[in-house]
Amino acid sequence: MLARRVLFLVPLSAFLVLAVYLWAGLQNDPRIIPSALIDQPVPEFELPPLVPDKLGFGNKDLNGQVFIVNIFASWCLPCRVEHPLLMKLAEENIVPVYGINWKDRPADALAWLAELGDPYARIGQDPDNNAGVDFGVYGVPETYIIDAEGRIRFKQVGPIFPEILEETILPLIRELQG
């Protein structure tokens, strides 16, 4: 008889479970798409240099140590937002930052770097979204952390903010650098 009395709780609790899941789902940002490349090797690519006195790079160059690969464009406003943080990473020599200049005009990109400073150890230019497609880039900026074995370990979609840098990116880099 008691079993019968509490039976009404079954649909109620089912509803509550569902409600909690859906509520949690609402907190996700639909614009952030999980990368299919996490823990996968860097896709094959080879990009020509943007700056005359700096090399371009390809997947073969991303090996032997931890790298940050940052996808940027001069037309991209959030890139401006995260730029000081990349400058800081480069100045403090924490990790080499390689840049991919995505869907941009070289002259614009050079002017942008002249204005804001150039944090990149190497820059490859990708005006036609060749490497971008292989990385699954769908907007700028995007930032990848590559481990010493050349695997992608982390992807940041959108600009790096100080909290993300301090709480996620730097600890992961330290862990990977061992």
Partner 1 sequence: MIRAAVLCALLLTFASAAGAVEPSEVLDDPMLESRARALSTHIRCLVCQNQSIDDSNADLARDLRILVRERLVAGDSDQGVLDYLSSRYGDFVLLKPPIKPETWALWFGPIGIFLLAFAGAAFYFRGRRHVVPQGGDQLAADEARQLSQLLGEDDEQQP
Nearest CB to partner 1, comparing residues 29 and 163 = 29
**What's the rounded Cα separation, in Å, for the pair 14 and 21?**
11
**Which of 17, 43, 111, 166 is in the footprint of partner 1 by CB under 8 A?**
43
**What's the rounded Cα separation, in Å, for the pair 61 and 168?**
24
**What's the rounded Cα separation, in Å, for the pair 137 and 139?**
6
Give the pairing of strands 142-146 and 67-72: antiparallel
Which of positions 128-147 make contact with partner 1 (CB under 8 A)?
128-129, 132-136, 138-139
Q: How far is the CB of 36 from partner 1 (least distance, A)?
A: 4
33 binds partner 1 (CB under 8 A): yes
Q: How many residues bind partner 1 (CB under 8 A)?
A: 21
Question: Torsions phi, psi of 49, nearest 5?
Answer: -70, 155
Question: Torsions phi, psi of 67, nearest 5?
Answer: -130, 155
Which of positions 91-130 make contact with partner 1 (CB under 8 A)?
103, 128-129
- Shortest CA distance to 137 belongs to which of 88, 66, 76? 76
Q: How far is the CB of 35 from partner 1 (least distance, A)?
A: 7
In the complex, which residues of this chain contact partner 1 (CB under 8 A)? 10-11, 14, 30-31, 33-37, 43, 103, 128-129, 132-136, 138-139
